[in-house]
Amino acid sequence: MVSPERAPGVVLSDGIVSLRPVTASDAPDMAAGCQDPQAVRWTTVPTPYALSDAEEFISERAAGPTWADQPTWAVTTLPDDRWSGGVDLRPDGEGGAALGYLLAPWARGHGHAARALRLACGWAFSALSLEVVTWFAYAGNDASLQAARRVGFQIPPHVFRSYASQRGRRRDCWVGTLTPDDLVTSVRVAEARRDYLGPDLTRRELDVLRRLARGEANRAIAVELGISENTVKNHVRSILEKLQASSRSEAVVSALRLGIVALPT
């Protein structure tokens, strides 16, 4: 019998960012994300990156009996299930694993990378009993450096000369390590800043919040969702409390900042 920890494919979420196994339907978004100039500059994705590259990657990394040997997730952000990046772990069989990740351009700028890395590393320490996770980025990739530091990776101030290869060329890198204690400390700090744990909104509260972002009144929301106006008011009250907002507009601004909702186009 396969244990829950070793089951083929694991879904993780903090209420804002979710990690799930990659699926065939992710291929178009994956191809688009990996064609982004920043992805080409800072990762080892093939270039040019074709749809067939995404399809081949997914066929190799989709959920299956050996998924936990090299756990690979699609990064998604509520309320969508769209592929918005990827995270993978490469266990070394001796208590450690290397971490890799990529975030699509449409998901950047909201702190989603750090959330995704915390989820993946937390699961790795718990389910795989890892002692350490290692990370590296090519020197100059400040966004990746900041995300790793927020997660708790211990990163020396100097670069490691010619540490890793990218498409046949050695490059200088920043290198960091993360232990379970490092992650626990970073989570505590992040919770104190309220930038890690999501507001824990229910699915119905998310439905209401999305409609608040559209400027809809309580009565219109009630009709659209098939609930009473008083129920809508109760949901709004709960949303304001969870987002620590004093008004509907402030709640929407906070939700936009956290990446929970998007303005209508």
Residue from 163, 115, 118, 168 nearest 141 by CA: 163
- Whether this prediction's pTM lies above 0.85 is answered by no
CA distances from 116 to 13, 15, 62, 148 (A): 8, 11, 18, 11
Other Cβ atoms closer than 10 A to 131 = 13
Other Cβ atoms closer than 10 A to 173 = 20
How high is the pLDDT of residue 214? Answer: 86
How high is the pLDDT of residue 191? Answer: 64
The domain locations on the chain are: 4-193, 203-258
Residue from 112, 161, 113, 109 nearest 139 by CA: 161
Q: Is the dihedral of CA 37, 82, 66, 31 positive or negative?
A: negative
Q: State the virtual CA torsion across 124, 128, 132, 135 in degrees, nearest 10.
A: -40
What is the CATH code for 203-258?
Answer: 1.10.10.10
4-193 is classed CATH 3.40.630.30 = yes
- Residue pLDDT, tens place only, 47-64: 999 999 999 999 999 998
Classified as helix, coil or strand, 11 is coil
Residues with pLDDT less than 50, the chain: 1-6, 194-197
- Residue pLDDT, tens place only, 232-255: 999 999 998 888 888 998 888 877
